[in-house]
Amino acid sequence: MPNSSPRASRLEAAGFHPFVADEAAALGTEGYALAIGGIRVQVPESEAVEARAFLDAPAE
């Protein structure tokens, strides 16, 4: 299934290795994503600090 998260897409395009946790459940169950606070995008721990800085930086 293609990933539906714009954040995950940005991370992947920048060379990170994102994983969208529980995406199928969140998209398949009405209200689920809202109930759990959104769709979680994760990266390997070794990429976490750099990925956070990338997402927090202004988009070019």
pLDDT score at 50:
97
* Terminal-to-terminal C-alpha distance of the chain: 28
Indicate the pTM of the whole model: 0.69
- Cα–Cα distance for residue pair 21/32, rounded to 1 Å: 13
pLDDT score at 4:
58
pLDDT score at 34:
57
Domain boundaries, the chain: 6-56
pLDDT score at 6:
86
pLDDT, tens digit, 9 for 90 and up, residues 8-59: 999 999 999 998 876 665 556 666 555 556 678 899 999 999 999 999 998 7
